[in-house]
Amino acid sequence: MLRSLSTKVTFAIITAIVVVVAVLGAAWKYYDDRQRMRLHAEAITGGSSRRGEALFIQYGCGSCHSATGVRTATGDVGPPMDGIATRVIIAGHLANNAPNMERWIQDPQHVSPGTAMPDLGVSAGDARDITAFLYTRSK
């Protein structure tokens, strides 16, 4: 009886250790994936994704666009920003690349006259940083 109880306790401890290691591994993979995505986005845009997130909030982008995990980004007028980095087309007709995204953010009315996206007077540097942030958004 004592041996059976000892075996059960040992099994429970081993199971708990395996679960903890699996959770830690998944958390590390998530963190590592996010870090790689951030570094890649910043490399292709030359912008700061962290500053871009703050600018996304400052310019009020979340009043029209949703973005998971970004405070105030609950809008449903424009498309959700989660997964935008993997979309082929932006602004209805532009290839999704950093220069086009920056141009779209800076001057949406010129790119697509009559679009619902307003011209917010975003500077070139701010557009670059917002683009870096957007390119970190996964589904």
DSSP string covering 83-110: TGGG-SEETTTEE-SHHHHHHHHH-HHH
pTM: 0.79
| pLDDT 10s digits, 21-41 | 888 887 787 776 778 888 889
pLDDT of residue 85: 92
- The one-letter code for the residue type at 65 is H
Determine the 3-state secondary structure of 133 from DSSP.
Answer: helix
pLDDT of residue 7: 82
- Is residue 18 one of the residues assigned to a domain? yes
- Is residue 139 one of the residues assigned to a domain? no
Domain tally, the chain:
1
| pLDDT 10s digits, 92-118 | 999 999 999 999 999 999 999 999 999
- Is residue 81 one of the residues assigned to a domain? yes
Closest by CA position to 100, among listed 115, 116, 114, 85: 85
Range of the structural domain that residue 114 is part of: 2-134
- Is residue 10 one of the residues assigned to a domain? yes
Mean pLDDT to the nearest integer, 11-22: 87
Q: Is the pLDDT of residue 84 over 90?
A: yes
| pLDDT 10s digits, 51-63 | 999 999 999 999 9
CATH of the domain at 21: 1.10.760
Q: Which helix (H) or strand (E) is 9 found in, with range?
A: helix 2-45
